[in-house]
Structure 1
Amino acid sequence: MPKPPLTLHDLRRHAIARTFFTPTTLPRAITKLGFVQADPIRAPARAQDLTLRQRVADYRAGDLERRYPKLAIEEDFFVNYGFLPRELHHLMHPREPRTAWTKARWKQAHAVLEFVRERGVVHPKDVDAQFAHGKTINWFGGSSNASTQLL
């Protein structure tokens, strides 16, 4: 017998059951949610605090950041920035394996390092103006100045 089609009501019930659960511990809440969006802006409060105060027993603003070093979670970004269980981190977005730099790339990097050492603080635009290494593909698939990536 075929299943009846999913209705909007069914989807709402599923979403509410999945995201609004009985308050629990901080690690369990993060695991159940799978991802907690974070935002440093405190108007009216940080996004992670607004999300977690309804889902974690006795949660206080800033608890996530205070406990972060001891929690099995990672920070990452997808569309937005947030926290997720360590065991899900590899699913966020496939990462390219680190590529070994060529001798020419190392030469560029050493030249940029010397430039920075001579001047102290530098702006990426100054480095690009000095070296004009051209463009390269960034982590998001877009285009970045190669000089900026070398920094």
Structure 2
Amino acid sequence: MDHHLRQQNHHQAMDTLVNLFTKANHDLSVVHYKLEKEFQQIYPNNANPMKLLYRIKKVQEDVLTLKEQCRELLSAKQELIDKARTTLVGNRSILQRMQASLDVPTTSDADDPAFASFNQIIDEWTAQVRSRTGRGNEEHDSDSEDINKLLFSAIVQTN
């Protein structure tokens, strides 16, 4: 019988605790409602402190989302640059070998405006990544692996 009595007291204690939390939740809801009504009367709609707080929290969440999307975009941009470089440089090399085998004069890198423009874009992107990592314009191999390491470093530092 002693076990049954303890179990009954335990259930009563739990019921009391649940009732206490229910009452506290109700009281907080009433306070929230009263504050909201009071703020609506005191402040214009756009200056309501409760609404401003909600908007600040929403903006903070949006900033985190945007930051992650920017990281993904940055990474995708680097992947695109790597693929473009591999494909274009590879195709250019094949074309030059074909021209040489046919005794057709090949265009040098300096005489090819499209290739020079492509390299300028790659160099600008590399400089931008280096400036974000605090590495400046130090002389480095401008291969994509080095830039990918810098980009990774920049992303990790912002976390």
TM-score scaled to structure 1, two decimals?
0.25
TM-score scaled to structure 2, two decimals?
0.24
Structure having the higher helix fraction is 2
